[in-house]
Chain A
Amino acid sequence: MQIATKEITAESLVRAALDKAKKYVDYNIFISLDEDGAIKKAKAIDKKLKDGEDVGRLAGVPFAIKDNFLAPVGNTTAASKILEPLKSPITATSVKKLEDEGAILIGRTNLDSFAHGSSTENSYFGPTLNSHDKARVAGGSSGGSAVAVALDIVPFATGTDTGGSIRQPASFNGVYGFKPTYGTISRYGVVAMASSTDCIGFFAKSAEDIDLLMSITSGQDPKDMTTLPDYYNENRCSAVSKTVSLDERSVQHSSEGPKTWASALERPEEELLNTPQHKTIGIIKDFNTDALHPEIKSALENKIKELKSAGHKVIELDMPTLKYALAVYYIVVPAEISSNLSRHDGIRYGYRNQSAKNLEEIYGQSRSDGFMPENKRRIMIGNFVLSSGFYDAYYLKAQQARTLIIKEYEKAFSKCDFLLTPVSPNPAFKIGEKINDPISMYLEDVMSVPINLAGLPGLSFPVGETKSGLSIGLQLIGSRRSDKELLSFAATLGDNANLSDKKEQKS
């Protein structure tokens, strides 16, 4: 991550980002750009630099936000018609913390409307294209942010992850995507999807960059009662980096097998997140089967071999309860969605159908026009499972199963430090391929949703590409509040390809 200095100005960094954003306009990454605002803010940083004032840890670093974060910059649309006109007077706590460190918001990225989806095809503004193959989906729901980082428009972007919405698009685009422990980063000022599983997180090019972003944004927020005390910055070890960019690191962590580890060990200690220790890594049997795409399976197997040869212990785990996670997820999450979307009624803000003649028509027609089909599908499921007479059979039962899933993970983490799984069973699919088959779309989330139900941290990190050039990511999962250890450990795992450079050449 390049930080502005007297020599490399914030303005030049921001202009470069804006230029790239416009260059890649055909990917449909941004819903809105704030060129004037961003340049103005950059100039202010440059002035501060000149005057020798404190400019913060992210001085002049351009960044993008998923368009479900509130900020008085552009409209907060959540990629929906119903919120298209919404100008927020509020800045999300996470965005404010980044801006307070000198980061410069350049624009809002595309998503599945209200973050409902796994492909960014459910956007009112059309799909975002995959950074590796324009015929394929970007993943979702945070597709725009993933592609913005993959194409090096910005060094980092925010996302939200309710069931994989950061990790899956990260894996589809060959970048790092992190979903922290539930409650680590304030949800204040982020359009809610499912309150009990929503997490704010980041896309970046390295675990170290994410660590820096985490140390800035984590912590208790009086405006969000579900935030945890700031465990992330407690006992902060002094060895934690200055930021090390992907490019810099990949020189040392080239894909040469065990040597990667050797060279990592030789690095001066203060440049490392942590001195690597031998860890126990759990592999979930059900998530390493022949049902996986063969190239994803072999990527997982290769990583297991790598880990073993680096001296880590790899164990296999039976986690039979996880097979219920998807069913539980598609009860609990739609229930909360149906509730959280109730406020969009055309009365106080947002879109209202102007031909509505009475109150019922204002509600009915505004919501009918304003929501996408996937939004409506989830509202209907949610209302169904919450309706009287069905509550016990669906919602309550799902919450009980959820408790069992949490216990299953607790048991697993008594045996291992981290779990390693694929992010999704297949690489990026073609645009339109699954849009009319919601069940098969939901099934793509089978490996990403379980940890949201348990509130665990998960990192999607790139491990290479398929023969056809699609990126592959794996997922490292930790126990609650192990976020820092997880990122530290991930920083010692090199990815197998320098994807960023390849993309530059391709386009």
Chain B
Amino acid sequence: MGKKYEITIGIECHVQLATKTKLFSEVDNDARGKDPNTCVSPVDYALPGMLPRLNQEAVKLAVRAGRAMNAEINAYSRFDRKHYYYPDLPKGYQISQFYHPIIGAGHIDLPDGSKVRIEHAHMEEDAGKLNHYDTYSLVDLNRAGTPLIEIVSMPDIHSAKQAHDYCKELWRAMTFAGVTIGDLYNGNMRFDVNISLALPGAKELGKRAEIKNLNSFRSVERAVEYEYERQSKLLDKGEPVRQETRGWNDATGKTTFQRSKEEAQDYRYMPEPDIPPIKLSQEFIDAELAKVPLLPQDYRQKFSGVLPVDTLEVLLDYPQLMHKLSEIISDGESKEDLSDSVKKIIKRVANLFASVLLAEEKSAEMLDHLPSAKQLTDLSEMAEKQELSSTGAKEVFMKFFDPQMTKKDTRTIAKELNVIQENDTGALEAIVDQVIADPACAKAVADYQAGSEKVLGFLVGQVMKASKGKANPGTAQQILKQKLA
């Protein structure tokens, strides 16, 4: 890279699990659009005498998340209390897993072929939120008790780009596995990035700064770039880099000091006595692992040679689209190797997804109402048989998203749109004859026969017009050529 210092990065990522209820209480876990403190139970606001009740669904999702990071699932795990005082933490401790996490060592493969190892991942509860005003602050506990997994990477990342890619790949793995909604804007995944610099070949890593609470891949990348500049300037001047926590300001593009290591809390970890240890049977683990759908790494393998890499990488940002492709495969066949006909379908549907759907202004909404695998397979087969022109196929495809069309099969929709191409040569020949005989076309016919190839297009257009657009233009051209030869 030609940079003076070698950068070493480790990332902790908090993932909110998409359970119906909170980790330890039976209130709604999805507080989006709800008034403050309306998704709060006495357990969440820590009324004395309240006890946590572990949500089994969260344990299941954690197991699936473990699979998505190629990690070992620990059959024995346990909760611990992490103590600190803050108004967004009602109990005065966070229930976390310090000594025995549920997910052991794993790794994430990045698109560039590199690998980032996962040290472990553990379950814990989210804290609430403080809203600050001029002279006071208000606490909103809607988020308090939301289940999280915290994924701790090894310091295997060595560039801003790689940090970006790791976060993105982690996001893909978690959303593909269906363990989180993955809405970064709403904080469903948050990244703490530890960054240190050292001269190449140095025996020890430099002192690290931790940038807390980044919530986009881009901000991770920019924060790393900024920290490289900041820390390398200090080192160049011979000044020490302090071990400290820093915040990120997206507007200024800078990190700012928050607190030093000396001010760090002693969390006084203690085993959580209100929750017995979790002992997972192999059957439980296997059942959950079996529920994990295909992951980005699986798709890369499956579609290599079927789809161009850049199309695939675009589509991998949309788990719904990839899962739909996977549905089409399982509809078609169950074998490992895809047949040529399935490959053709996949290619065609992937193209519709990448160049038609994603180009739409309302594509985000449309992702939630994807057509059925059957509709898409039929569409692709009709196009293959040239029953649909590429324009007709697009038209039908878009019509799939019309709420009134969801129950209708592809052919019915194509008929309603009147876009099925006329491939019957007998019928087409009649139309061609009609066009050739048309006095309005006499000059064109004469010109063609005199050697002007250009006018063929005009004549095909006339055939299309006469067929009300249903003629297959390729076939029409062939017949014209034969007849005028």
Contacts and interface: CB of A to CB of B under 8 A. Distances in A.
Interface in B140-182: none
A345 interface: yes
Contacts of B48: 70, 76, 78, 83, 86, 191-192, 343-344
B42 A347 contact: no
From DSSP, what is the main secondary structure of chain A's interface residues? loop
A224 B53 CA distance: 7
Contacts of A363: 85
A326 B267 CA distance: 26
A383 interface: yes
Nearest to A388: B266
Given A86-B48, A89-B42, A339-B81, A225 B269 contact: no
A37 B54 CA distance: 35
B261 to A, nearest CB: 13
Given A223-B53, A386-B268, A387-B266, A342 B45 contact: no
Contacts of A469: none
Contacts of A192: 48-49
B199 interface: no
Given A90-B42, A225-B276, A342-B83, A190 B93 contact: no
A225 B51 contact: yes
B45 A348 contact: yes
Most buried by A among B48, B85, B93, B273: B48
Interface in B26-50: 42, 45-50
A90 B47 contact: yes
Contact of B83 (A70, A89, A339, A347): A339
A361 to B, nearest CB: 12
A156 to B, nearest CB: 21
Nearest to B92: A342
A365 to B, nearest CB: 13
Nearest to A187: B51
A219 to B, nearest CB: 16
Contacts of B139: 347-348
B49 A348 contact: no
B55 to A, nearest CB: 11
Given A192-B48, A348-B90, A335 B53 contact: no
B306 interface: no
Given A190-B49, A223-B51, A343-B92, A195 B274 contact: yes
A496 interface: no
B263 to A, nearest CB: 13
Contact of A359 (B42, B45, B87, B275): B87
B471 to A, nearest CB: 69
B207 interface: no
Contact of B92 (A92, A345, A388): A345
A183 to B, nearest CB: 9
Given A90-B49, A190-B49, A226 B276 contact: yes
B268 A224 contact: no
Interface string A379-412: 0000100111001000100000000000000000
Interface in A177-212: 187-192, 194-196
Contacts of B267: 388
Contacts of B273: 194-196, 226, 336
Contact of B47 (A88, A194, A336, A395): A88
A387 B45 contact: no
Contacts of B91: 342-343
Contacts of B266: 387-388
A189 B270 contact: no
A383 B83 CA distance: 10
A70 B85 CA distance: 25
B269 A386 contact: yes
Interface string A153-195: 0000000000000000000000000000000000111111011
Nearest to B267: A388
B52 interface: yes
A348 B44 CA distance: 11
A217 to B, nearest CB: 15
A339 B271 CA distance: 11
Contacts of A190: 49
A90 B85 contact: no
Contacts of A76: 48-49
A209 B52 CA distance: 32
A349 B45 CA distance: 9
Contacts of A359: 87
Interface in B228-276: 266-270, 273-276
A250 to B, nearest CB: 37
A52 interface: no
A343 B49 contact: no
Contacts of B87: 345, 347, 359
A222 interface: yes
A114 to B, nearest CB: 9
A497 B35 CA distance: 63
Given A76-B48, A223-B53, A225-B54, A391 B269 contact: yes
* A-B interface, 10 closest residue pairs, ranked by CB to CB distance from nearest: A342-B92, A195-B273, A386-B268, A196-B273, A343-B46, A191-B48, A189-B49, A70-B49, A343-B91, A190-B49
20 contacts: A70-B49, A76-B48, A86-B48, A88-B47, A89-B42, A90-B47, A90-B49, A187-B49, A187-B51, A189-B50, A224-B51, A225-B275, A336-B273, A339-B270, A343-B46, A343-B92, A383-B268, A386-B83, A391-B268, A395-B270
Given A187-B49, A195-B273, A344-B48, 19 more contacts: A70-B49, A78-B48, A88-B47, A189-B50, A222-B53, A223-B53, A225-B52, A225-B53, A225-B275, A225-B276, A226-B273, A226-B274, A335-B270, A336-B270, A338-B268, A342-B93, A348-B90, A359-B87, A387-B266
Interface of B: 42, 45-54, 81, 83, 85, 87, 90-93, 139, 266-270, 273-276
